[in-house]
Structure 1
Amino acid sequence: MSASKLPVLDEAANPPDLTFGEQLRMAGQSFWASRVRGRLILLSIALLAVILLLTYGQILLNRWNQPFYNALENRDLPAFWQELRNFFFIAAFLLVVNVAQTWFSQTTALYMREGLARDMVDQWLKGRRAYRLSVSSPLGVNPDQRLHEDARKLAETTTSLTIGLLQSTILLISFISVLWQMSGDFSIPLFGHQIAIPGYMVWGALIYAGGAAAASNIVGAALTRINADRYAREAEMRAALMWTNEHLEPIALARGEAVELRAIHATIDNVLKVIWKLAMGLTNLTWVSAAFGWLALIVPVLIASPAYFSGTMTFGGLMMAASAFTQVYTALRWYIDNFGAIADWKATLLRVMVLRAALTEPALTEDCAGQIVVEPGKPGELAFEDVYIRTPSEAEARWGGYHIREEAPVIHAGERVMINGDPGVNRRQFFNAMAGLWPYGEGRIVLPEEDHILFLPQTPYMPEGRLIDILAYPEEVAAYREEDALAALKAVKLSRLAPLLKDRKRWDRVLDKEEQMALTFAHLLLRQPKWAVFNDVLEGLEPETVKVLTGIMQSLDQTTLIYLGRSQAFLEALSPRVLHLERMDVPVPEV
């Protein structure tokens, strides 16, 4: 048996290492695969039109400054009232456009979130990726934070930052030309000569905004990493709280509240440490952003004042130039004002796209070399061809693994088969390999073509909902008649639950282990599959329950039964053919 590598079974496996460009490409793929792509494109076009109208309104408002302030300087009352009327027309136009922009931006964010959330969930629950990720990567341990909170934040911040960047770019292009025209050819005396500086106010705005941007980059360089670390610690805290909530009964029985409390407090401490670092980073960034922000109140007037004092510019022209300078500077400092938000966005993008990249890795989505192949074959036959199950290492020098001792066994329709194994063999992995969940190993498992196979795990799944929904899961309730459901409950000795068939409860907490397994067998009776594979389902049950359940198995004349385990009751009641799982530890090859 060859000893192929085990990259995906390493519990400390690192997430995919994506560059920023790869993250953007992955986000683009997610957008293009979105079912709301068409609506987002139409909304983007509408938003662009609204932003252009808003920019036009701001240009009108900027031009209004000159006649208005000239009217004040000249004490021209009729002109003053005329400009006031003009102002209210412009303001009304801008108000309507602002409201339209808000509506379009909020709607875009909504559809952006819908598209991203649905795409991420689709990728997560496609095929058997979610399970495989949960056993192969730390990303699969608590993906809910990335699927819910991070996806929400990414959609909303992407929308707001994109709109802000687009609006600032259009403002910059529009007002730079205005400011350049107003600057004229400003000259400064130097060594007896007049040195002309065309568009000097534009250069002043560029230098001022560039200095602010450079300072912000230096001070806030670590914010992206700190934000990413914060989200990881928040996810760990949420997972700890969810784990405790799901295991309240055993914790209370063991009087383990103090231990759980210490563990949760430790996760809270980790979150608080990162938030403290983030608070300090944002505080330091505020020194830069606030300083340049306050100076922006006077800098435009200072830069425009030489032309005013030289007599080439009126007071109205000064105010118009100062307003245009403010628009250019505001557009240029968009990056500065949003440095923290951009760092947060990049951290969120990384977390979401790393998960999406992991979910679309060929190791999860395709049959790769060194994996068990599960494929359909002949009807009425289930075959194992050179199947070797590879397990996580149990010692530094060896890999755990096992195979079927019998040579290429074939199970035919109608048979009763038990598969047990050597001490220490984890039959659950073999059970999952048959279901296509555990690809780690070699060989082929050939399933009967078009024959329905029902897999029954040792721990039944009890989804929240009505009892009748659990009986039918994963099919719709309409697939079965209510009288058949009642008959199935009666057959497994759960007639007392008949009046509760339509009740919605946390049945995993209401029913004990015996009742949950009996409910699973009631589903088996309803489903009547051609093949049923059991993973040690009789282990640890009361003798009376075992007797009832083995009786159900005996009654399934049209179902092929494959039982993984060592149940004496199954042996005695069904006299199955027995296959053996044999350990084959493989030494790790020297590097």
Structure 2
Amino acid sequence: MAEQSSEPTQSNASGDFLAGDSLLAELMQMVSAFWASRERNKLLMLAAALVAVVGATAYEQIQLNAWNRPFYNALTNKDMAAFLGQLGVFAELAGILLVLNVAQMWLNQTYKVVLRQGLVHDLLNEWLVPLRAFRLSYVREIGANPDQRLHADAQHLTELTTDLGIGLLQSTLLLASFIGVLWVHSRGIVLSFAGHSFRPPGYMVWCALFYAGTASFFSWRVGRPLIALNAEHYARESELRFSLVHVNEEIESIAIYGGEADEKKYINRIFETVIEISRRIVGAVTRLTWITAGYGWFTIVAPILVAAPGYFFGKMSFGELMLIVGAFNQVQQSLRWFVDNFSSIADWRATLLRVASFRRAMQATDKLGHTANRIALEETGGQSIHFDDLKIAAPTGSITLSEAHLDLNPGERVLIVGERGVGKTLLFRAIVGLWPWGSGRITHPARRSMMFMSARAYIPPGTLRTAVTYPHSAGIFKDADITEALTGVGLERLLPMLDQVDRWDRRLNDDEKQCLVFVRVILQKPRWVVLDGAFDVLDPLSRKRIEMIFKGPLADVGLINISRNGTYNPFYTRTLHVVRDCLKTH
């Protein structure tokens, strides 16, 4: 017998999924997902290229620091020829560093795009496993907003992981390279002119403001296209978010139709538009980097050029000035990496927890309630549906059918009714396979020969033709058959709009949407149709049309209508009742 305790509770399931959320466990889970990703090889190549570019940049910066000695010697000796020669050497080193910096930016942005592509594909494949997404909705908070985990959290995690990883690698290499230079050469800086030592008030400030102003102007000129690109990017991201929310809101209908694969294809198409605009942004950011990085590297020599008059006409050691400025900038930036990025590290840790726990919950939801009694749901090669000693666990007890053993044959039209709140929808979900908790046995033909319809009709996004043939491809049905089916249910006015893309779930009223679902039945001709109140939302004229179709072209199709309306109707050949099971096992 089914007991009330046989239904798994949401709190227990959620607690199991969130247990043991250590950083190491989260990292190992995400690493295993990365290793199984189809983007793995591309990510490994990009990572190797990043390490090589960052290492080469550090090496070139060491060479640049070594360049200081002959350059400053030329300045000290006031050797104009040597000075000009060393400027040529600097131009070569700065050119190499500029190319490396642009390459690093391109690799950084591309790595984010590819890493997100791999992560979202992995999460999407885990989420839209048949029946899994529906069951995940019973796992309390972690199953409440999967669209947020798949969209915003996945994007944020990939961006933070890339930025923090590259920043840590770069800072470590630069710190190891320049801390010794700063230790040895740190000295005070004094400007001398005509035998007097002084600090011109605001001289370097005004030079810095002028330098920053010109850099900002050219950056704005080159980076202006990013405004429109980012606006389009946000729009595409919003479209992706909507599609994920739409699937989450309609997941029961999708699961009933077995349309997870079709939804995955649709979401992947939208996701590819996001990837495409992201690639365009990568190109725009790369072009901007030529300006920003060029000014950044020119900053190394700009203070020298600005302060050169003080050296040539004064007694100050310009070489010491530039050594300490260059080394100090590198060291302090490296040392401040952890402090400057502490909030980002905390954000990364929290985002990693959300994504990793969501992924673990999706995998664990297949085992939800395995310790409880379960209904045996079997497919056979026959055409009949059999119920044997069925008891369905419900939040208020358990329910059963008025007859313990039932054999239903194709062509029968069965009405199942029950008092309000008894749990008729649970019977529907048990037949579909969405609600396995209880006891007894349900035997039915192959799922592909059955169709299930809930009271809330599901209309997928896209063209009207796609909605009519869902979850199958529109190309497998002839236009004549679609025309005949739409006309049969009274929707002939929609024929000119078959290939029009619209929000049909909003444009059509409830009666029209449900009639559209019955068009699918006419086209697909299943052996059985199981309804959960689908007839109840039809107006009398539409219901009469559908009944005539089941008496005529679909007379050999079996029909089970779990209805909220218990009024006698000669259309049905058999009437059953859902009742509360008063017998308990103690």
Amino acid in the other structure paired with 1:412 = N
Question: Partners of 1:580 and 1:422 in 2: how far apart?
Answer: 9
Change (3 A) 1:383 1:172: farther
Could you say which residue in structure 1 is the equivalent of 2:5? 4
Measured at CA, do residues 155 and 444 of structure 1 come closer, stay the same or move farther in structure 2, by a change above 3 Å?
A: farther
Give the secondary structure class of the aligned counterpart of 1:572: coil
> Residue 209 of structure 2 aligns with which residue?
none
The answer for the alignment partner of 2:535 in structure 1 is 538
Matches of residues 201-220 of structure 1 in structure 2 within 5 Å? none
Report the counterpart of residue 504 of structure 2 in structure 1: 507
For the pair 1:560 / 2:558, whether they are aligned, the reply is: yes
Q: Deviations over 1:136-190 (max 9, x none)?
A: 423333322221111111111111111112222333344457678x59xxxxxxx
Distance 2:585 2:30 in 1: 39
Paired residue for 2:463? 466
Shift of 1:495: 1.6
Whether the 8 Å contact between 1:13 and 1:137 is mirrored in structure 2 is yes
Q: Please point out which of 335, 344, 347 is paired with 1:344.
A: 347
| Aligned residue among 416, 434, 437 for 1:437 | 434
Structure-2 separation of matches of 1:74 and 1:491 = 99
| Identical amino acids, percent of aligned pairs | 40
Q: TM-score, normalised by structure 1?
A: 0.70
Provide the residue aligned with 2:36 in structure 1: 33
**1:25, CA displacement in angstroms?**
2.1
Work out whether 1:138 is the aligned partner of 2:141.
yes
> What is the SS of the residue equivalent to 1:94?
helix
Report the CA distance between 1:461 and its aligned residue: 0.8
The answer for the alignment partner of 1:207 in structure 2 is none
Q: Paired residue for 2:308?
A: none
Q: Note if 1:161 corresponds to 2:158.
A: no
Structure 1 segment 234-253 matched on structure 2, within 5 A = none
| Cα deviation, residue 60, structure 1 | 0.8
Measured in 1, the distance between the counterparts of 2:162 and 2:24 equals 19
Q: Residue 567 of structure 1: CA displacement?
A: 4.6
Counterpart contact for 1:11–1:137, Cα < 8 Å: no
Q: Counterparts of 2:378 and 2:182 in 1: how far apart (Å)?
A: 70
Change (3 A) 1:169 1:387: farther
Shift in Å, 1:438: 2.0
Report the CA distance between 1:500 and its aligned residue. Answer: 2.0
- Counterpart of 1:447, as a letter, is H
Flag the 1:408–1:64 CA change in 2: closer, same or farther, 3 A: farther
Change (3 A) 1:389 1:118: same
Q: 1:541 to 1:386 in 2, by over 3 A?
A: same
Hey, what does 1:218 align to over in structure 2? none
How far 1:8 sits from its partner (Å)? 3.8
Find 1:170's aligned residue among 170, 173, 183: 173
Q: Secondary structure at the match of 1:574?
A: coil
How does 1:37-76 map onto structure 2 within 5 Å? Answer: 37-76=40-79
1:16 to 15, 18, 24: 18
Q: Distance in 1 between matches of 2:169 and 2:391?
A: 57
1:488 correspondence with 2:485:
yes
Preserved contact between residue 380 and residue 446 of structure 2 (Cα < 8 Å): yes
Structure 2 residue corresponding to 1:94, chosen from 97, 105, 121: 97
Q: Contact 2:455/2:537 (CA < 8 Å) preserved in 1? A: no
Counterpart residue number, 1:232: none
**Distance of 1:492 and 1:520 partners within structure 2:** 10
Q: Give the letter for the 1:544 counterpart.
A: L
Equivalent-residue separation in structure 2 for 1:587 and 1:336 (angstroms): 63
Query: Equivalences for 1:101-500 in 2 at 5 Å?
Result: 101-175=104-178, 316=319, 320=323, 323-324=326-327, 326-363=329-366, 369-392=372-395, 399-449=396-446, 452-500=449-497
Letter in 1 for 2:555: D
Whether contact under 8 Å (1:66, 1:320) holds in the other structure is: no
The answer to whether the 8 A contact 1:517-1:537 is kept is yes
Partner of 1:575: 573
Asked if 1:529 is matched to 2:529, the reply is: no
Q: How much has 1:581 moved relative to structure 2?
A: 2.1
SS in 2 for 1:532: strand
In the alignment, residue 355 of structure 1 is paired with which amino acid?
A: F
Report the TM-score when normalising by structure 2.
0.71
Between 346-355 and 417-426, report the one with greater CA deviation: 417-426
Distance 2:128 2:459 in 1: 18
Over aligned residues, Cα RMSD in angstroms? 3.2
Q: Which residue of 2 aligns with 1:195?
A: none
* Closer/same/farther in 2, CA of residues 470 and 176 from structure 1, 3 Å limit: same
3-state SS in 2 of match to 1:157: helix
Q: 1:580 aligns to what SS in structure 2?
A: strand
Q: Deviations over 1:370-421 (max 9, x none)?
A: 34343323422333344332233xxxxxx33212342243333443323223
CA distance in 2, matches of 1:76, 1:363: 78
- What is the number of residues matched between the two proteins? 458
Tell me the SS of whatever aligns to 1:60: helix
- Residue 490 of structure 2 aligns to which amino acid in structure 1? K
State the distance in 1 between where 2:402 and 2:428 align: 16
> Any idea what SS the aligned residue of 1:96 has?
helix
Aligned twin of 1:191: none
Determine helix, strand or coil for the equivalent of 1:352.
Answer: helix
**Would you say the 8 A contact 1:379–1:451 is kept in 2?**
no
SS at match of 1:409: strand
- Distance change in 2, residues 1:366/1:588 (3 Å): closer
When residues 585 and 93 of structure 1 are mapped into structure 2, their CA distance, relative to the original with a 3 A threshold, is farther
Aligned to 2:198: none
Report the Cα offset of residue 82 of structure 1: 2.3
Quick check: 348-357 or 478-487, which moved more? 348-357
Give the conservation status (yes or no) of the 8 Å contact 1:521–1:552.
no
Residue 209 of structure 1 is matched in structure 2 by none
Q: What SS class does the counterpart of residue 361 from structure 1 fall into?
A: helix
The 3-state SS of whatever aligns with 1:489 is helix
Per-residue CA shift, 1:278-322, capped at 9, x if unaligned? xxxxxxxxxxxxxxxxxxxxxxxxxxxxxxxxxxxx974785466
The separation in 1 between residues aligned to 2:14 and 2:137, in whole angstroms, is 12
* 1:585–1:335 Cα change, 3 Å: farther
Deviation of residue 58 (structure 1)?
A: 0.9
CA deviation after TM superposition for structure 1 residue 335, in Å? 1.4
SS of corresponding position for 2:529 = strand
Any conservation in 2 of the 1:492–1:522 contact (CA below 8 Å)?
Answer: yes
Structure 2 CA distance for partners of 1:118 and 1:488, relative to 1, 3 Å = same
Equivalent residues of 2:7, 2:372 under 8 A apart: no
Equivalent position SS for 1:563: strand
For structure 2, the residue ranges without an aligned partner over 5 or more in a row are: 186-237, 250-316
Distance 1:163 1:387, change over 3 A: farther
Deviation at 1:487, TM superposition (A): 0.2
Conserved 8 A contact 1:129-1:364: no
Q: CA separation in 2, counterparts of 1:321 and 1:443?
A: 82
Change (3 A) 1:388 1:137: farther
Whether the aligned pair in 1 keeps the contact of 2:529 and 2:560 (CA below 8 Å) is yes
- The alpha carbon displacement at 1:427 in A equals 1.2
Q: CA deviation at 1:366?
A: 9.0
SS of 1:336's equivalent in the other structure is: helix
Deviations 1:240-277 (A, max 9, x none): xx99xx9xxxxxxxxxxxxxxxxxxxxxxxxxxxxxxx
